[in-house]
Amino acid sequence: MVRAVYEIEIGGKIYTIPFINGGSAGYIVEEAEEKNEPAAYIVPLSSGLLEVMIDLTTTEFALTKETQEVLRKLVRELHKKALSNDNEHVPRNELWFEVNSDWVSFSIPNSLVDEAVANVAKIALNPENWRKITVLRCPVCGRRVRETETDLIGIFPDDENIQILFCPEFDQRFRGQHVVAFKWDGEWKQPSYFYHNPERDGLIEVKKGSYDNVTLYLLYLEAISGDNVNFKRPNLEWMRAKILWKNGEPVGYYAYSVDAHKYPTLHQIFVRKKFRRQGHATMMLNDFLNSFPGTVLIEDPNEATQNLLVKLSLARRVDRGIESTGRIMFLPGGI
Ligand SMILES: [Zn+2]
């Protein structure tokens, strides 16, 4: 049976709600996304019910809380009606519908679909019942991510007041998901915001919960996604860190601790790819050595750091790696 497409007029604009089979939803969603309009469609289910879907994820809007409440009430009433019509396919519990800020979906018998479209769709599709939200593109993979996707929001490890918006994409290189944005001063700021700051120059100590703390976290992610896969996150509960800035851009960082081990310890040095071979690592190592005259520990130095220690005569090459020339001691990794 070929069914007519529903047409709903809201504020002079005509919204069409086609009947489709499941496979063509992708096309409808893509088209809606291009126009920044909601995708609305009805899918016949094998149970004989019709699934009504109104999807706002294709827009920069979400349903207001009040509207969600109104819609829940309406959908519950429809559910009751469907049950009293003794439709054997209608599930008894209320799990058959979902109303959240991003979409409304429910399945309904044929006999009630006109009423459902006239009431529920008309409210959900009305821009007066929406609020503007932030939709961001993942800087790594380009996926659209909505701030309303609460299961993608995490807490910044060094400060619970800072939220992180993640991308749904899982990526082994980052030991998890891509970072899309941080909630900073009440606004979602993307990683690039923490990589450009004309007020920063030279080596700057990172304070917990600060702008630089976010930069440090991003530099760490950059490090582990490249050739420093063994780095652990610089944990400011017990570590300290300094970021080297040049013309308002972060060059790299070094992480150290003062009291965690017998001697002051250098845990990591990282220089971003485009700033390498310009003496920045030497400069950071010297800053650490000058801050702590006397014996210091170097944690599990990687190849680059080993070369640096040899260059500065703090270590010499031996058969398997390097050994100290006196001032430094090595701390095995994984501590
Ligand atoms: Zn992504």
Instruction: Delimit the domains of the chain by residue range.
Output: 5-132, 134-194, 196-335
Please give the distance, rounded to the nearest whole angstrom, from the Cα atom of residue 321 to the centre of ligand 1. Answer: 38
Distance, CA of 298 to CA of 306 (rounded, Å): 10
Please give the distance, rounded to the nearest whole angstrom, from the Cα atom of residue 75 to the centre of ligand 1. Answer: 34
Please give the distance, rounded to the nearest whole angstrom, from the Cα atom of residue 246 to the centre of ligand 1. Answer: 28
Please give the distance, rounded to the nearest whole angstrom, from the Cα atom of residue 221 to the centre of ligand 1. Answer: 13
- Identify the pLDDT of residue 140: 95
Please give the distance, rounded to the nearest whole angstrom, from the Cα atom of residue 131 to the centre of ligand 1. Answer: 25
Residues 6+ away with beta carbon under 8 Å from 78? 106, 108, 112, 115, 116, 119, 120
Please give the distance, rounded to the nearest whole angstrom, from the Cα atom of residue 170 to the centre of ligand 1. Answer: 8
- Identify the pLDDT of residue 4: 67
Please give the distance, rounded to the nearest whole angstrom, from the Cα atom of residue 140 to the centre of ligand 1. Answer: 5
Chosen CATH of 5-132 out of 3.10.310, 2.30.29, 3.30.410, 3.60.110:
3.10.310
Please give the distance, rounded to the nearest whole angstrom, from the Cα atom of residue 167 to the centre of ligand 1. Answer: 5
Distance, CA of 281 to CA of 275 (rounded, Å): 10
- Identify the pLDDT of residue 21: 83
* Local structure of residue 91 (DSSP, 8 states): -
User: Token pair of 271, please?
Assistant: 């220089």
What single letter denotes the amino acid at residue 229?
Answer: V
Please give the distance, rounded to the nearest whole angstrom, from the Cα atom of residue 173 to the centre of ligand 1. Answer: 12
Please give the distance, rounded to the nearest whole angstrom, from the Cα atom of residue 96 to the centre of ligand 1. Answer: 31
Please give the distance, rounded to the nearest whole angstrom, from the Cα atom of residue 235 to the centre of ligand 1. Answer: 24
Distance, CA of 66 to CA of 78 (rounded, Å): 19
Longest dimension (CA), the chain: 88
Please give the distance, rounded to the nearest whole angstrom, from the Cα atom of residue 171 to the centre of ligand 1. Answer: 8
Quick check: pTM over 0.75? yes
Helix intervals (H) in 18-151: 25-35, 65-84, 113-116, 122-124
Please give the distance, rounded to the nearest whole angstrom, from the Cα atom of residue 313 to the centre of ligand 1. Answer: 43
Other beta carbons less than 10 A from residue 126's beta carbon: 16
The answer to whether the CB of 252 falls within 8 A of the CB of 274 is no
Please give the distance, rounded to the nearest whole angstrom, from the Cα atom of residue 232 to the centre of ligand 1. Answer: 22
User: Per-10-residue mean pLDDT for the chain, 335 residues long?
Assistant: 76 90 86 93 89 95 98 92 79 78 92 91 96 96 93 94 96 92 96 97 97 98 92 95 97 97 96 96 97 95 92 93 94 74
Please give the distance, rounded to the nearest whole angstrom, from the Cα atom of residue 38 to the centre of ligand 1. Answer: 23
- Identify the pLDDT of residue 269: 96
Fold of 196-335: Aminopeptidase (3.40.630)
Please give the distance, rounded to the nearest whole angstrom, from the Cα atom of residue 101 to the centre of ligand 1. Answer: 22
Place of tokens 């390097």: 322
Residues in the chain: 335
Please give the distance, rounded to the nearest whole angstrom, from the Cα atom of residue 151 to the centre of ligand 1. Answer: 15
- Identify the pLDDT of residue 216: 98
- Identify the pLDDT of residue 94: 61
* Local structure of residue 2 (DSSP, 8 states): P
Q: Which of 299, 305, 220, 204 is nearest to 257 (CA)?
A: 299
Distance, CA of 33 to CA of 12 (rounded, Å): 21
Please give the distance, rounded to the nearest whole angstrom, from the Cα atom of residue 143 to the centre of ligand 1. Answer: 6
Q: Are strands 50-55 and 61-63 parallel, antiparallel or unpaired?
A: unpaired
Please give the distance, rounded to the nearest whole angstrom, from the Cα atom of residue 137 to the centre of ligand 1. Answer: 8
Please give the distance, rounded to the nearest whole angstrom, from the Cα atom of residue 314 to the centre of ligand 1. Answer: 42
- Identify the pLDDT of residue 1: 46
Place of tokens 């220690």: 309
Please give the distance, rounded to the nearest whole angstrom, from the Cα atom of residue 225 to the centre of ligand 1. Answer: 13
- Identify the pLDDT of residue 38: 96
Distance, CA of 207 to CA of 330 (rounded, Å): 27
Please give the distance, rounded to the nearest whole angstrom, from the Cα atom of residue 81 to the centre of ligand 1. Answer: 43
* Rounded (10°) angle between helices 280-291 and 303-311: 70
- Identify the pLDDT of residue 334: 62
Other beta carbons less than 10 A from residue 2's beta carbon: 4
Please give the distance, rounded to the nearest whole angstrom, from the Cα atom of residue 169 to the centre of ligand 1. Answer: 5
- Identify the pLDDT of residue 3: 62
